[in-house]
Chain A
Amino acid sequence: MSKMKKILALLMIAVLAFTVVGCSGGDKADDAEKPAEQTEGEDNEATDEQLKITMVTDVGGVNDQSFNQSAWEGLQKADKDLGTKSDYQESHQDADFVPNLETALDAENDLIWGIGFKLADAVKAAAEENPDAKYAIVDFSYGDKTPDNVVGVVFKQEQPSFLVGYIAAMMSETGKVGFVGGMESEVITAFDYGYHAGVAYANKVADKDVKVLRQYAEAFDDPAKGKAIANSMYQQGADIVFHAAGGTGDGVIEAAKEQDKYAIGVDRDQNDLAPDNVITSAMKRVDVGVYNVVKDLKEGKFPGGTTVVYGLEEGAVDIAPTSDKHVPKEILDKVEEIKKLIIDGEIKVPVDEDSYEEYLKTLE
């Protein structure tokens, strides 16, 4: 009996609380309705101007300190400069990609982004099923099979990797540098061999004999593992470690901090994570790529059916602007020269093992 009373009391409280929330919620709703109407009005007046854009993240989420975050920053910049209206939807597992893309389609977006090559299949399927919608994907190229309503955006990540590889080899005092990869894939392999080639180039032109230690963490979200790998590399005599490992790389930078060694960041300028230890970063400006495609769409030049490749020439990959804090000016001047050589095609930066072998032959 007393149990019944307790439950009854609980129910009463619940009902009471709900009516309270109901009231305040109601007020809020009134408040919210007005601006909502206004924005709707705006929409109607300027349908040809305000574009609605959305992005579906991969499982890293929108605050991954890496390319998802960078893509979102690009969209936010577009909102500010181009007057678009952007939002995002996070994927929590691979099976979320398809329903998330559907949700994005149902919300009548003018452009739907898939961030990261893991979404490649889902984006292609959605694009083929809905030829009237526009899609774009970061880090993946469908080559000749790109549907007309899809744009692929890829980056020459091997180019900044080459530059930081050169810097690492020139600055190493022990003659050993390290590379920590996330998971083996086309993108990370390009970082890997670009870096190796940069070191090989420095060995050749500056007559050095710097060796590269390489290890993959098999994870993009395991800082503890990144730290362990970096620590063991420092113990084996490496004094500079470059990572292309997303969140795992945070551990690499932490190890550098604790051991008072150098690290090289990736994707964005990671000097803020350890100002005394991160000497430079291989920047891949996903935000620039994303922004440019939105701008093209706004100007009616949506490059559907093609893959846009961003490299040094377009300013979408580079070394970090804070590099001058640690890297001597002579080396940075050299880096500028190398950039020109890469842009002019004098240096063909390798992207995988085969092209790396070929590249080594050209050095001899």
Chain B
Amino acid sequence: MMKRNRLKITIISIFVGLLVGAFILLAVGFNPLEAYAIMIRGIFGKPKYISWTIIKSTPLILTGISVAFAFRTGLFNIGAEGQFIIGALVATLVGYFWNLPPVIHAIVAILMACLAAAIWAGLAGFLKARFGVNEVITTIMLNWIALYLSNAIVFWDKFKRPNSEASQKILETASIRFPKGINFLGDFFRAPVNWGFIIAIIAAILIRHILKNTTLGYQLRAVGFNSDAAEYGGIDVKKNIVISMAIAGALSGLAGAVHVLGVTEEVSVLAAMEGNGFDGIAVSLIAANSSIGCIFAGLLFGGLKYGGYKIQPAMGAPSEIINIVIGIIVFFISMPKLIEMLTTLRVRRKRGGEIESK
């Protein structure tokens, strides 16, 4: 019953978002139906567009799961952005400097990226567990440290590609792209289709399994519900906070790794945050913190971003308007979830174990 309600609220929110976006388009003199038609054609018009939507969505799904996982255990991971950057950086370093056979190279690069991002996020978890420093503050600060660290390393002579603002490309052996020249499904495989989406689905199922069916998941959730009660129940709260942040970090690092190994094949100097991690927060909100839900929320979000921006050149609307409309849609989609979640969190904190015992 509860679940069905949630789905309903989400779907209504999407409609309200599209509706308000339509009013804004109308107000500035553009036909919203035409605009949305362009967006939908931009996503489904060709097999290639569908594959691009999936490619764009993959990192968002993973950062979404990362934020959702942390939230389920009572932590607000705003550091997905920085963890993504660290994951991307380490995957590129391993992908370029190490010489390993195909497949193994990619797996090692992914694992190293996850490990590095897990340590990165685990640091915020440690600071919270040991000194009580709020993870919101530390993860935001770690985002900037990650950004500048990544830039500093990209500027390193041995790593930087001459005459560019990017690193060297990863070796062929580290790539997780599907081989070129697959010709069925029209031009579906013209885009850099890769294993990332499948990895993201596996990650979603794995996280769901950990949370639902394992002792670790039970402990993590217990800490999320009410840390005092959990401690009273004999759970090591501090350890669980660190573990939770580390897993969340590993997921965001995985997002960065599949993005590099599957799509960009390099990291470039970042003038600003790219937003893969911040969008993950929105994805997690839309999905109501369900890891499986993040797959669909990520696809929705990726579709909005990939198809939505096609409205601009086709209709000649200023890009600011399109940004506002996409922003409004996202805002309405995530808003009810946010309110719902904040109220339940307050109730949880107030009533503690009561809900858990239900």
Contact = CB atoms under 8 A, between A and B. Distances in A.
Contacts of B263: 95
Given A7-B8, A99-B306, A18 B31 contact: no
Interface string B24-65: 001000011110000000100010100010001000000000
A104 interface: yes
A127 to B, nearest CB: 16
A73 interface: no
Interface in B147-173: 148, 151, 155, 163-166
Nearest to A103: B310
Interface in A89-123: 89-90, 92-95, 98-100, 102-104, 106-107, 117-118, 120-121
Interface stretch (B100-108, B230-238, B311-319): B311-319
A29 B34 contact: yes
B355 to A, nearest CB: 18
Interface string A6-21: 0100110010011001
Interface residues of A, number: 47
Contact of B23 (A21, A94, A219): A21
Contact of B52 (A3, A99, A185, A219): A99
B313 A28 contact: no
A349 interface: no
A175 interface: no
Contacts of B97: none
A102 B26 contact: no
Nearest to A88: B313
A118 B165 contact: yes
Given A102-B48, A118-B268, A18 B15 contact: yes
B124 to A, nearest CB: 24
Contacts of B166: 94
What's the interface size class on B, roughly?
35 or more
B127 interface: no
Contacts of A26: 33
Interface in B275-320: 275-276, 305-306, 309-310, 312-314, 316, 319
Contacts of A61: 319
Nearest to B169: A121
Contacts of A104: 313
Given A183-B269, A220-B271, A17 B19 contact: yes
B259 interface: yes
B33 A14 contact: no
A218 B148 CA distance: 9
Contact of A14 (B15, B26, B165): B15
B356 interface: no
Most buried by A among B22, B48, B263: B22
B168 to A, nearest CB: 12
Contacts of A213: none
B140 interface: no
Contact of A62 (B8, B151, B274, B319): B319
Interface of A: 3, 7, 10-11, 14, 17-18, 21-22, 24-26, 28-29, 32, 54, 59, 61-62, 87-90, 92-95, 98-100, 102-104, 106-107, 117-118, 120-121, 183-186, 218-221
22 contacts: A17-B19, A22-B33, A25-B26, A25-B32, A59-B272, A87-B312, A87-B314, A90-B312, A92-B305, A92-B309, A94-B268, A95-B274, A98-B192, A99-B52, A99-B191, A99-B306, A106-B46, A117-B164, A118-B165, A183-B271, A218-B151, A220-B271
Interface of B: 5, 8-9, 12, 15-16, 19, 22-23, 26, 31-34, 42, 46, 48, 52, 56, 148, 151, 155, 163-166, 191-192, 259, 263-264, 268-269, 271-272, 274-276, 305-306, 309-310, 312-314, 316, 319
